[in-house]
Amino acid sequence: MVGTGGPVPTFSPWDYVVFAATILGAASIGLFQAIRGRKENNSAEFLLGGRQMTAVPVAMSLTASFMSGITVIGTPSEAYRFGLAFWLFGFSYAIMSAITAELFVPIFYRLGITSAYEYLERRFNRITRLTGTSMYIVQTALYTGLVIYAPALALNQITGLDLWGVLVATGAVCIIYCTLGGLKAVIWTDVLQMVIMLAGFVAVIARGAVVQGGLSTIWDDAAKGGRLVAFDFDPDPLKRHTFWSIVIGGSIMWVSIYSINQSQVQRYISCKTLGQAKLALYINMVGLWTTVSLAMFSGLTMYSIYKNCDPLSNGDIGTSDQLLPYLVMDILSVYPGIPGLFVAAAYSGTLSTVSSSINALVAVTVEDFIFPFYKDFTQKQVTWMNMGLSVFFGGVCIGMAGVASAMGSVLQAALSIFGMIGGPLLGLYLLGMFFHTANSTGGLGGLITGLVLTLWVGIGAQLYPPTADKTLPLPLTTVGCNKTVDLNSTTAAPWTSPANLTPDSRPPLADSWYSLSYVYFSLFGMLTTMVSGLLLSIITGGCKQAKMNSDLFVRRSDLICFSGCNNSKASDEIEKVATDVHMGVDNKAFMEMDEKKEYATKL
């Protein structure tokens, strides 16, 4: 009987067929794009998608890039265990979209940025650029390994799919369509995967509504269980989720992901025009709202079904990551093929993230570590180099999944990693974009200071996770189960470690410094980098440095609210950008790639 615990059915043959068809479909897109673009097999096509990308597919790709398998599996579990507070990230998505579109995208277009870290060399120096790129590579490789491993582990224990077979297969598929199709294949594959992810959530909600007797029943059950309390205005920075931590800290965290992360930057510079790039970010905002809303309601559906029999407390599953796969097999196994659709949805999230990461890692390696030092490549050599690096980084990401298998707090690490590394990097960019006084010494010193302090608090939080009075899990019960075990009715958070169970062994900083909400990691890293960087710049003569190129700084004309000014050069430039949509001629990155192509052709 649904919702009463015990073993659930496993995959049927039709589920395997649906799952395999989805994976093959993703690979087919890569092959199609490779064949279609074989006459334009150059770096502009491979790294920037040519000049044909428009706002809608890029927006869907932006959304899918970080809607990974962790999101598909972890977000419903978040609603089930902690309520709707996570939905407040919708405010963060709106703030992030506005900041990225109005501050960062115009600068990247104006400078003709291909790698996001080119800016750091133009504003500071090459050492700062290479440091930033190295941080990005480490961050992306580790995060991608976590993205591959976490859903594979959860789905392996529910569906019986071989863990390491799935890990290798996931990486292999991504390598195939990234290597053959480049960014255009990644973007169009992301579009397909985004549709599949949303369909998976809709299937869970629709079937749950039938089982429970309507959406109103699900909503009423969630209200009685305290799952609808979202607005907590407590200013305590140690509480895991409050209105302030999510809206303020969460906004900065998502800005660090979308504004300077190569996986995302590479997408909007593939758009035809600056206007299309900005539009893609605002459409992406709607996509993020839709995704998080469906994921949260899937979690409420899960709570309504298991309100009297928590599968985790009952011993039916091993971790909270397995809650949604368990639910799917419990309520959807009567429809052969539908559980396969859900597994495809979870792995679509993983595929989109891994493919984005591989393509971005290739781009920054070529642009930051190879071209600045050696440019005498023929076009054929560049093509083979791009493809070879795709295979190499695909292997690295699969290897990092093996490393992740030895980590106990996979989800918490995935949530924190962008804060620990992305926050200081974001602070460095803002320091350069807003303060003329900032120099290379201050920038690099501030980045190192911010990184060290953020890693200190982040790693400490991994070793000594916050206690339940800070994470505030909501109560669960097993009174309605057919089979019960002797466990507490309130289960621990998925990142709980034995350190929580032995308070005497926790160091003094564990309940203060290390208990800082993970959502604040980015904000903390950004502020420490900017403050220390500005002070170091002033001390080392930043106030006396020569006047720099104004293109490196934020302009008033970059903002939409000032684009209506009449009789000004700024408005003339903006009007030209708005109307000059043919073949992306307002994107300097494309012009630079054309020059490289012409040079290679002469060779």
Is a pLDDT exceeding 60 seen at residue 213? yes
The pLDDT of 335-347, averaged and rounded, is 79
pLDDT for 224 equals 92
Is a pLDDT exceeding 60 seen at residue 578? no
The predicted-structure confidence for 50-72, as pLDDT tens digits, reads as follows 445 677 777 777 777 666 667 77
Which position has the higher pLDDT, 80 or 555?
A: 80
Q: Into how many domains does the chain fold?
A: 1
Percentage, residues of the chain above pLDDT 90: 23
Which position has the higher pLDDT, 400 or 278?
A: 278
Highest mean pLDDT among 135-144, 187-196, 492-501: 135-144
User: What is the Cα–Cα distance from 387 to 373, expressed in whole angstroms?
Assistant: 20
Q: Enumerate residues 6+ apart whose C-beta is below 8 A from 217.
A: 209, 304
CA nearest neighbour of 145 among 417, 331, 375: 417
**Tokens 């900005």 — which residue?**
278
User: What is the Cα–Cα distance from 104 to 432, expressed in whole angstroms?
Assistant: 12
* 421 inside domain: yes
Q: Can you point out the beta strands (E) in 158-216? A: none
- For 379-400, letters b (16+ CB in 10 Å) and e give beebbebbbebbbebbebbbeb
* 5 inside domain: no
CB 157, CB 11: distance < 8 Å: no
Q: Enumerate residues 6+ apart whose C-beta is below 8 A from 14.
A: 336, 337, 340
Compute CA 533 distance to the chain's CA centroid, rounded to the nearest angstrom: 27
* 7 inside domain: no
pLDDT-derived band of residue 539, with 50, 70 and 90 as boundaries?
very high
The pLDDT of 146-151, averaged and rounded, is 74
pLDDT for 416 equals 76
Structural domain boundaries enclosing 578:
13-602
pLDDT for 494 equals 36
User: What is the Cα–Cα distance from 91 to 519, expressed in whole angstroms?
Assistant: 14
pLDDT for 405 equals 61
One-letter amino acid identity for 549? Answer: N
pLDDT for 512 equals 81
Highest mean pLDDT among 85-99, 181-195, 398-412: 85-99
Phi, psi of 53 (to 5 degrees): -75, 140
* 155 inside domain: yes
Q: What CATH number is associated with residue 341?
A: 1.20.1730.10
pLDDT for 30 equals 59
pLDDT for 480 equals 80
pLDDT for 472 equals 79
State the SS3 of 553-572.
Answer: CCCHHHCHHHCCCCCCHHHH
State the SS3 of 78-138.
Answer: HHHHHCHHHHHHHHHHHHHHHHHHHHHHHHHHHHCCCCCCHHHHHHCCHHHHHHHHHHHHH
Residue 549: beta bridge partners? none
Lowest pLDDT segment from 78-82, 95-99, 356-360: 356-360
pLDDT-derived band of residue 35, with 50, 70 and 90 as boundaries?
low
The pLDDT of 144-160, averaged and rounded, is 72
Is a pLDDT exceeding 90 seen at residue 149? no
For the entire predicted model, the pTM comes to 0.81
The pLDDT of 549-569, averaged and rounded, is 65
Which position has the higher pLDDT, 471 or 236?
A: 236
Highest mean pLDDT among 94-103, 512-521, 549-558: 94-103
Averaged confidence pLDDT in the chain? 77
Q: How many CA atoms lie within 13 A of 72 on its CB side?
A: 39
Q: Enumerate residues 6+ apart whose C-beta is below 8 A from 165.
A: none
Is a pLDDT exceeding 80 seen at residue 363? no
pLDDT-derived band of residue 379, with 50, 70 and 90 as boundaries?
confident
Is a pLDDT exceeding 70 seen at residue 221? yes
DSSP 418: I
Q: Enumerate residues 6+ apart whose C-beta is below 8 A from 431.
A: 438, 442, 443, 446, 529, 530, 533, 534
Which position has the higher pLDDT, 355 or 182?
A: 355
User: What is the Cα–Cα distance from 521 to 254, expressed in whole angstroms?
Assistant: 12
User: What is the Cα–Cα distance from 394 to 148, expressed in whole angstroms?
Assistant: 11
In three-state secondary structure terms, 592 is helix
* Residue 375 CB coordination number (10 Å): 11
The pLDDT of 131-153, averaged and rounded, is 82
* 526 inside domain: yes
* 1 inside domain: no
* 505 inside domain: yes
Lowest pLDDT segment from 8-22, 116-130, 396-410, 452-466: 396-410
pLDDT for 251 equals 94
DSSP 474: P
CB 236, CB 464: distance < 8 Å: no
CA dihedral 100, 104, 105, 110 (to 10 degrees): 170
CA nearest neighbour of 79 among 295, 360, 402, 242: 295
Which position has the higher pLDDT, 7 or 101?
A: 101
**Tokens 């903002």 — which residue?**
559
Highest mean pLDDT among 182-191, 204-213, 398-407: 204-213
Is a pLDDT exceeding 70 seen at residue 348? no
Burial (Cβ within 10 Å: 0-12, 13-18, ≥19) of residue 579: exposed
Is the four-CA dihedral 597, 118, 356, 392 of positive or negative sign?
positive
pLDDT-derived band of residue 601, with 50, 70 and 90 as boundaries?
very low
pLDDT for 590 equals 43
* 154 inside domain: yes
The pLDDT of 523-530, averaged and rounded, is 96
Is the four-CA dihedral 265, 269, 274, 278 of positive or negative sign?
negative
pLDDT-derived band of residue 157, with 50, 70 and 90 as boundaries?
low
The predicted-structure confidence for 288-333, as pLDDT tens digits, reads as follows 899 899 999 999 999 999 998 899 888 888 777 788 888 888 888 8
CA nearest neighbour of 510 among 520, 500, 519: 500
One-letter amino acid identity for 289? Answer: W
pLDDT for 483 equals 62
Any alpha helices (H) in 333-422, and if so which ranges?
A: 338-364, 379-404, 410-417
